[in-house]
Structure 1
Amino acid sequence: MKKNIKLLLLVSLTFMAACNNDDNNTPEEVPVVPGSAVFTKYIALGDSFAAGYSDNALFKKGQENSYPNILAQQFVAAGGGAFTQPFMNDNIGGLLLGGNVIAGTRLYFIGKTQTPTNVVGKPTTEVTAHLTGTFNNLGVPGAKSYHLLAPNYGSAAGIMAGTANPYFVRFASSPSTTVLADALAQDPTFFSLFIGGNDVLLYATSGGTGKDQTGNPNPATYGTSDITDPAVFANVYSNLVTALTAKGAKGVVANLPYITALPHFTTIPYNPLTAKTIGKDDAVVGLTNIKALNAQLYGPLKQVLTALNAGDRINLLSETGTSPLLIKDESLTNLAAQLTAAFTPTLGAQNAAFYGAVFGQARQAKATDLILLPTKQDIGLPPTAANSGIGIAPPAPLNAFGISYPLQDKHVLIPTEIAEIKKATDAYNATIEAVAKEKGLAFVDTRATLTQLASGGIRFGNFTMSSSFATGGAFSLDGVHPSARGYGLIANIFVDAINAKYGSTLRHVDLGVYPIQYPETIQ
């Protein structure tokens, strides 16, 4: 018995010693140090991503969860100072100009209908109610690269003409200043620059309705939805970074993602048509409609196009499976005259001319096309005189977008447009990386991170973030801008780049504390 007691005592003492030894050997947390960076005065320049735009609007909570604000909070432990932002007045988003709404409220998700819906209410942020003071966050929604150097970009007089930005008008130090000038006036010791997305993104979100301005060196002649000439971008970007580093400031720059990493362009399939969708949830009605469409529209079109050596443009709708959307492809040879001539004997001259005008460049969508997220709400709706592309509202039964009437340019990106976007993006990214190396700046490969989100996701804890619309956690309900959690992820990869370049030991934020969706009402 005594031996057993001694044995138990020995085991207990050994266990206690082991526990004490483990406590003594617990590694101490690495202290946060700035390394060679100085975070005393941090300025963020960029577009809507820097501003914290989310759910198709700018609002206070979104600004609080912007990646620059998250970064600034992490900088505090390494000597960072105060970080001010030009906050909106409310959490519903939107803008007023002279009391009139010029930007709508944010989106929220109604689970039962599976549809993003605008928050009910009128915006309270008036553009002309100018904010005073200086601001560390100079992210301006809608800004392209060259806008950061544009005088009068903050002048209210230029809003309606498109030469000024209402978001910058709210907080510009003067009507004639530039975004860069307002940054330099604060003598930043550290900066972040994430710009260039809108130089190509606005072309993409318009469905390619703009123009590729490659070779045109004059941005004053560009339209809102045009692609910026890569040479213009290179010159602007170099000038921005040269000015920001002239007094020795260090910084971090980020490249641009491919649009194929954004759910705005990848959520709607090219072939969503079924008997149920065509019948508006009634498969029996849909099947009847499919048979009628094949007999009266798709069949005759297929026959004539085949005779014109273009039979691959149209196939019959499937009665049992899925079928592709009907779209207009402006890159195709226009067969309007040939279709008009072929259909005149059976339809008469007027109806045949209508067929020629509508279907001369029509085809069914392919997997290589990208259907834009807002297109979902137009599929099956009747075109109007304003959006039909022919100046009139087409008659029934040729009046269902994507089914019996082609979706228009604004609804879809075709391969030629996608190629233009990728070419410009690659050129911009080459410039960004080259300038980062030349100036010795930290470089963030957001393209790689967002591509990873789109191809399997990124795991943290028990959650995998992905680019899946509404459920993936990384993107907000507009399908372009990150969610609060997505902005947290961006902040973390910025931290990684800064630590690697400057020897700092900034810490990641816990992504789990950031929501993937905002509720209808934000307290």
Structure 2
Amino acid sequence: MKKIFLSSIAASLLFAVSCQNDFENSTEDVVVTAGDANFSHYVALGNSLTSGYRDGALYSSGQSESYPSMLAGQMKLAGGGEFSQPMMPNDVGGFIGIPGFGGRYNLQLVDKKDYTGAVIGKSLSPVQAPAAANLDVIGGAGKYFSNMGVPGAKSFHLITPGYGNAANLPIAAANPYFVRFATSASTTVLADAMAQSPTFFSLWIGANDVLSYSTNGGTNSQTTGGVTTYTQATDQNGNTNPATYRSNDISDPNVVAGSIKAVLDGLKSKGATKGVIANIPYVTSIPYFTTVPYNPVPLAAASATALNTNFATLNGALANVGLPKRFATLTASANNPVLIVDKSLTDISAFLPPQFAIYGQARHATAEDLILLPASSVIGIDPTTGLPPSPTSQTILGVSIPLADQLVLTKTEAAKVKTATDAYNLQIANIATAYGLAFVNANAKMIELNSTSGIQWDGVKYTAKFVTGGAFSLDGVHPLGRGYAIIANEFLKAINSKYRSNLPMVNPNSYSGVKFP
């Protein structure tokens, strides 16, 4: 996994001066009551956001600061019972021997090198640790956990048999996190939740149904005639397909809604009719998609002139086949747009000289494109050496060579994501009303957190800025302990409003933030 360098980015992520207090209810001198709810056996269902995942891994101290654990602590003040979690065996995370499941990110000072490979300084960067242990199975018959958040789970995975079967791991039809604590190889997340007969539940699912497409720069879903087709939905028998684990599709909104209803109907059949459900944030509100600007390329006058000569030739070739120009006029400045691949464009490589074939679906980025966080470590790098370019180099990623498609969510792809997210959220809001559940507008909260003013608690300001904002972890997607506390308070507010309970808020300042070396 590529390192994400922050030497130029971190310096620009500064706190704004003015703040607005988001929390009005004091946590002191609160008379705690359960109201119409019964918190004696609370079960949480969801994905990585429920499990306490952060910094690119699930690890023990992160789990201790999951938002369900925070909720359970406040519920305990109103008659709630014990809350158990499938704790990882260490504070690093990951699974040895399972590719793609490394340990947590930590901020470290790493060497910066010039084009010869010589060290020219240090840069503060998130560096991923190797996995610290083999996959450990802590579940089995009769072993249940209150926190059933499964990192990587999409909506339909909660109702998919075999999702916790270790034998399905080699064919990517199972999830190692659920393999750890499933009660059997054939069970489902829902079945294990139902078996616990919860008196109260939380459900936050659906983010991965669009997030995996987004973090992979957009793949698989197609738009024809203005209508988006979601390539992953059901098999030929109408059943949800378990083999889509690790796939990068956008899930059909009807599959998401149907899966959520199936979970709620299953819980209801066991008497669990009271709970809280949350909607899905826009990816444009999290730092994985907002940290790297579309125009981070510095150019000297001579470089800009040389590049413009080539791009003018390419714009001329586009005009010859009746297509609009795709390449900007670069300037001697620090804010030139990055060169990207856009698969939605007509491929004109057949009309170009061989040396220009790489530009067949290339263009310069605009403010509507989202450059993914990992791109920060490769923009301006010579791909043949992996180092900053030599003075005579003609191959510079994002400058003369387009960034790989998976490092950019183009404006077309981002529009698909927003359309799907809006469809999910409309369904989730309607389901919350139909089932009489408390509802959390997590999307609105993330938009607020991403604003310039952010939110604050007791004089401490939180925003969605990478590293310096105080709310998000080093993977740019998942919150820190303080960010999860902000989320927990939204759940607590919704529960109190719906069920006339009076659970106190938690104090985000008392939870962990970014640890600097």
Give the letter aligned to residue 87 of structure 1: M
Say whether 1:258 aligns with 2:258: no
Give the whole-Å Cα distance in 1 for the aligned partners of 2:460 and 2:169: 43
- Residue 208 of structure 2: aligned partner: 198
Q: CA deviation at 1:264?
A: 0.4
- Residue 126 of structure 1: aligned partner: 134
Work out the number of aligned pairs and report it: 456
* TM-score, scaled to structure 2: 0.84
Say whether 1:293 aligns with 2:307: yes
Give the letter aligned to residue 353 of structure 1: P
Give the letter aligned to residue 41 of structure 1: H
Say whether 1:359 aligns with 2:356: no
Give the letter aligned to residue 108 of structure 1: N
* Aligned counterpart in structure 2 of residue 115 of structure 1, from 114, 125, 133: 125
Give the whole-Å Cα distance in 2 for the aligned partners of 1:384 and 1:156: 39
Map residues 180-195 of structure 1 onto 2, 5 A cutoff: 180-195=190-205
- Residue 489 of structure 2: aligned partner: 492
Q: CA deviation at 1:353?
A: 2.6
Q: CA deviation at 1:419?
A: 1.2
Give the letter aligned to residue 85 of structure 2: Q
Q: CA deviation at 1:518?
A: 3.7
Give the whole-Å Cα distance in 2 for the aligned partners of 1:519 and 1:115: 10
- Residue 136 of structure 1: aligned partner: 146
Q: CA deviation at 1:274?
A: 0.5
- Residue 268 of structure 2: aligned partner: 245
Structure 1 gap ranges (5+): 1-26, 276-285, 340-351, 386-395
Give the letter aligned to residue 124 of structure 1: A
Q: CA deviation at 1:376?
A: 1.2
Q: CA deviation at 1:214?
A: 2.7
* Aligned counterpart in structure 1 of residue 101 of structure 2, from 76, 100, 103: 103
Say whether 1:453 aligns with 2:449: yes
Say whether 1:419 aligns with 2:415: yes
Map residues 420-439 of structure 1 onto 2, 5 A cutoff: 420-439=416-435
Q: CA deviation at 1:510?
A: 1.0
Can you list the C-alpha shifts for 1:372-419, whole angstroms capped at 9, x where unaligned? Answer: 00111121234479xxxxxxxxxx955322111111210101121111
Q: CA deviation at 1:298?
A: 2.6
8 Å contact from structure 1 (residues 217, 229) kept in 2? no
Give the letter aligned to residue 251 of structure 1: G
Q: Percent sequence identity over matched residues?
A: 45
Q: CA deviation at 1:152?
A: 0.7
Give the whole-Å Cα distance in 1 for the aligned partners of 2:465 and 2:363: 28
8 Å contact from structure 2 (residues 137, 181) kept in 1? no
Query: Which stretch of the first structure deviates more once superposed, 496-505 or 373-382?
Result: 373-382
Give the letter aligned to residue 435 of structure 2: K
Give the whole-Å Cα distance in 1 for the aligned partners of 2:136 and 2:65: 25
SS in 1 for 2:413: helix
Q: CA deviation at 1:123?
A: 2.9
Structure 2 gap ranges (5+): 1-26, 110-121, 223-228, 386-391
8 Å contact from structure 2 (residues 382, 393) kept in 1? no
Give the letter aligned to residue 58 of structure 2: L
Give the letter aligned to residue 124 of structure 2: Q
Say whether 1:476 aligns with 2:473: yes
Give the whole-Å Cα distance in 2 for the aligned partners of 1:130 and 1:217: 31
Give the letter aligned to residue 185 of structure 1: A
Can you list the C-alpha shifts for 1:345-367, whole angstroms capped at 9, x where unaligned? Answer: xxxxxxx23413x1111110000
- Residue 390 of structure 1: aligned partner: none
More helix by proportion, 1 or 2? 1
Give the letter aligned to residue 214 of structure 1: Y
Give the whole-Å Cα distance in 1 for the aligned partners of 2:400 and 2:83: 54
SS in 1 for 2:202: strand
- Residue 179 of structure 2: aligned partner: 169
Q: CA deviation at 1:32?
A: 0.5
Larger Rg: 1
Q: 1:102 to 1:365 in 2, by over 3 A?
A: closer
Q: CA deviation at 1:128?
A: 4.4
SS in 1 for 2:123: coil
Give the whole-Å Cα distance in 2 for the aligned partners of 1:370 and 1:60: 32
